[in-house]
Amino acid sequence: MDKKELVLQYLEKLLVANETTNLTRISSWEEALVLHIEDSLVALEEINAAPEGLYGDLGTGGGFPGVPLAIYTGRETVLVDSVKKKVRILADIVSEIGMSETVSTYGGRIEDLAKEKPGAFSVLTARALSQLNSLLELSSPLLKRGGQLICYKAKVSEEEIQSALDICDLVGMKLLNRRSLVLSDGITTREIIVFQKIGSPKVKLPRNVGMAQHNPLVKK
HSE of 90 in the Cβ direction (CA atoms, 13 Å)? Answer: 30
Query: What is 163-197 written as a DSSP string?
Result: HHHHHHHHHTEEEEEEEEEE-TTSS-EEEEEEEEE
In whole angstroms, what is the distance from residue 10 CA to residue 97 CA? 7
Among 61, 141, 172, 201, binds ligand SAH (CB under 6 A): 61
Rounded to whole angstroms, the maximal C-alpha distance in the chain is: 53
Query: By CB under 6 A, is residue 62 in contact with ligand SAH?
Result: yes
**Site membership for ligand SAH, residue 137 (CB under 6 A):** no
Q: How far is the CB of 61 from ligand SAH (least distance, A)?
A: 2
**56 binding ligand SAH? (CB under 6 A):** no
Binding residue for ligand SAH, selected from 14, 15, 69, 80, defined by CB under 6 A: 80
CB-based contact 217:188 (threshold 8 Å): no
Minimum CB distance to ligand SAH, residue 66 (Å): 8
Task: Output phi, psi for 35, to 5 deg.
Answer: -75, -20
188 binds ligand SAH (CB under 6 A): no
The C-alpha torsion from 60 through 121 and 91 to 103, rounded to 10°, is: 120
Shortest Cβ distance from residue 132 to ligand SAH (Å)?
14
Between residue 94 and residue 123, which ones bind ligand SAH under the rule CB under 6 A?
109-110
What is the C-alpha to C-alpha distance for residues 94 and 7, in angstroms, rounded to an integer? 10
User: Does residue 129 interact with ligand SAH by CB under 6 A?
Assistant: yes
216 interacts with ligand SAH by CB under 6 A: no
Task: Check residue 194 for interaction with ligand SAH (CB under 6 A).
Answer: no
Site for ligand SAH, rule CB under 6 A: 24, 59-62, 64, 80-83, 109-110, 127-129
